[in-house]
Structure 1
Amino acid sequence: SWPGRGSVFEVVLPLSETPVAARPAETPRRRSPATDLAGRLVLCVDNDHAILTATRLLLEGWGCTVLAATDAAGATEVLQPLGRTPDMVLLDYHLAGMETGLEVLDSLEAAVGHPLAAALVTADRSEALKAAARARGLPLLHKPLKPAALRALLVQRLAARQVPAA
């Protein structure tokens, strides 16, 4: 529509002589531990600061504790003082220089001594990357990231690992 032009709509409803009783307030549904992301520790690794900020805000809105890094050294540095491993690691594939998210994951897993729950988040849609992710058993989400897809992935992966929230 443009000012002075456009469509006009009208809705006509019958008036009720009897007031409608208010419905009782709904009891809030309890989230099951498998779907509750509150308290989950998520490490995000991406060399794009705007993406890191947006991802942090999204995850914190869901109650997650978020650590952010732009490379393997930064990821190791933010994890060391915690004394615990992240519940999930979200990795961009193409990082600064020639470093990849898979290399960061290898470095982190070597540092903690066990496999980590992780997923690749990338704009790269190549078959080679899809095959590499499949070979590692890593979910692959494509940018631009859909929040519902990320939330579903987190819930599913954390439930599969049965990781209790901290």
Structure 2
Amino acid sequence: MLVDDDAIVLLGLQSILKDWGYDVLAAGSTDQALERLGTANRKPDIIVADYRLRGGRVGTEAILRIRDLFCSDIPGVILTGETGPECAQDAAAYGFSIAHKPITSHQLSLAVERLLSNAAD
């Protein structure tokens, strides 16, 4: 599950992940992600969410709400361009990884593979 309110970033990340063979559901908001996951009727293996979403929402909330939907500790990674402590503290409080923008495809690959391998353990 990929959540980012910037359509260009969302499409770019979705394209990269699909090229790597992942089946990707993409959404521009938390509510849209929940709706798409409900329609798809399947639990995601991982959630990648931008930290700052529209309407004062944040990616940690998106990950937590998706986890609640499936009653499961689905691995989550926060993407952010922020350098201040707020995002890092928020992500750390829930045990989420952080990847800083701009993110290279190599960095994204490492973050996704690390979370998926930890989830399999």
Structure with higher helix content: 2
**SS in structure 2 at match of 1:155:** helix
Spell out the pairing of 1:84-123 with structure 2 (5 A cutoff).
84-123=42-81
Which protein is bigger by CA-based radius of gyration? Answer: 1
Q: Which residues of 2 match residues 13-162 of structure 1 at below 5 A?
A: 43-162=1-120
Deviations along 1:41-88, whole A, 9 cap, x unmatched?
xx1100000000100110011001111111111001111122221111
Give percent identity, aligned residues only.
26
Unmatched runs of 5 consecutive residues or more in structure 2: none
Deviations 1:15-60 (A, max 9, x none): xxxxxxxxxxxxxxxxxxxxxxxxxxxx110000000010011001
- SS in structure 1 of the partner of residue 51 of structure 2: coil
**Number of aligned pairs?**
121
| 2:106 maps to amino acid | A
Separation of aligned partners in 1, 2:17 and 2:35: 21
Question: What are the ranges of 5 or more consecutive residues in structure 1 without an aligned counterpart?
Answer: 1-42
- TM-score, normalised to structure 1, is 0.69
Task: Find the aligned partners of 1:106 and 1:157 in 2 and give their Cα distance.
Answer: 16
Hey, what's the Cα distance between the residues in 1 that align with 2:118 and 2:9? 27
Where has structure 1 moved over 6 Å in runs of 4 or more? none
CA RMSD of aligned residues (A): 1.3
Deviation at 1:141, TM superposition (A): 0.4
- Write the distance in 1 (CA, Å) between the matches of 2:92 and 2:38: 29
Aligned-partner Cα distance in 1 for 2:29–2:4: 7
Show the counterpart of 1:33.
Answer: none
What TM-score do the two structures reach when normalised by structure 2? 0.93
Structure 2: distance between partners of 1:88 and 1:79: 12
